[in-house]
Structure 1
């Protein structure tokens, strides 16, 4: 009886542990349909996926002001928008860090960053962190390419921008770029995921 009780307690503890991490590990998988969302842009306006009726899809970047890796990839995110926005795949950047833990990622700091760097794409504040959790974003940067399919948006790629954090010119695998080019050509995405490398998102204390 004691052994049975011990095993039952162990199973319960494991279940609780899994439930506590589920919100961070679960999220969209390739092929999943994306729920639309509404987030505040740095200009104070609300932005959603439905806003651009002519969009073929989006390049969604979970990023931030303060992470060194996010900063290293900032110019590449800007370049992706410059390359693909006119082709129907604009960038939506989303900042989800808890500002209490990371003051450099406050909404005001986001506004300053977007202005200083002259972002040509929305920089959205996921203050509740609900969108980041729904997507399953864990890092900054963490990229999601979504394509429009029958009036809905579906996940086509998840992960890193490329395979060289330090030097964009040295990257020989440009995952996001290759994914969007494949979609624009009507082809299947060859590499649908790659591990996102960067700072962990600063989650709110429970």
Structure 2
């Protein structure tokens, strides 16, 4: 799998609200999911080794964020016949395997990923209470080895957001597999 970086996106960009379904067919809206303190949105999938390396860390950060009234949602834009591991049925398996307690939603038409400017899995977006992009970067400084992490950048951004400070000046891009865009992936 080729490693690519997330695209630069201007801080302050407003969230384009959306409604998506979870793997059980329940419709959920970002407007009702948005936390009082902010909204952590992770573009993830099941098959990408980079996403798989950080799922547990994302769940841990989401637990921390929840205590600060910042809600978390993950979306999967890789619903594609060439990637059966990313099917809704496998999403249910991933939810159970990783203990995902927040919504993991199906972005089958890839409209939410496109509206965000997402390019890879994982691609992490943190919005402030005014629904504007506050942080767009990686979870931490070592996707390969959690025991070697020195900087937990997403957790630090959440603490800054909670304490109503300016967003981190340096935001390193997330890295992962490219999103499997429906119009560009062939059998």
Above 0.5 in TM-score?
yes
Q: 1:108, CA displacement in angstroms? A: 1.4
1:128 aligns with 2:109: yes
Give runs of aligned pairs for residues 57-72 of structure 1, distance below 5 A.
57-72=38-53
Q: Residue 40 of structure 1 corresponds to which residue in structure 2? A: 21
Instruction: Tell me, yes or no, if the aligned pair for 1:63 and 1:93 is still in contact at 8 Å.
Output: yes
Name which of 46, 57, 64 aligns with 1:76: 57
Runs of 4+ in 1 over 4 A off after TM superposition: 25-28
1:171 aligns with 2:149: yes
Q: 1:42, CA displacement in angstroms? A: 2.5
Give runs of aligned pairs for residues 79-90 of structure 1, distance below 5 A.
79-90=60-71
CA distance in 1, matches of 2:170, 2:64: 20
Q: 1:140, CA displacement in angstroms? A: 0.7
CA distance in 2, matches of 1:166, 1:148: 32
Q: Count matched residues.
A: 179
Q: Residue 11 of structure 1 corresponds to which residue in structure 2? A: none
Instruction: Tell me, yes or no, if the aligned pair for 1:28 and 1:134 is still in contact at 8 Å.
Output: no
CA distance in 2, matches of 1:52, 1:66: 26
Moved more, 164-173 or 97-106: 164-173
Unpaired runs of 5+ in structure 1?
1-24
Question: Aligned-pair RMSD on alpha carbons?
Answer: 1.9
Q: Deviations over 1:88-107 (max 9, x none)?
A: 11221110014212110011
Give runs of aligned pairs for residues 76-155 of structure 1, distance below 5 A.
76-149=57-130, 153-155=131-133
Higher relative contact order (CA 8 A, sep 6+): 2
Question: Cα gap change, 1:53/1:158 in structure 2, threshold over 3 Å: closer, same or farther?
Answer: closer
CA distance in 2, matches of 1:139, 1:51: 26
Question: Cα gap change, 1:54/1:122 in structure 2, threshold over 3 Å: closer, same or farther?
Answer: closer
TM-score by length of 1: 0.80
1:181 aligns with 2:159: yes
Q: Residue 198 of structure 1 corresponds to which residue in structure 2? A: 176
CA distance in 2, matches of 1:35, 1:112: 29
Q: Deviations over 1:144-183 (max 9, x none)?
A: 000112xxx1000112111101122322222211111001
TM-score by length of 2: 0.88
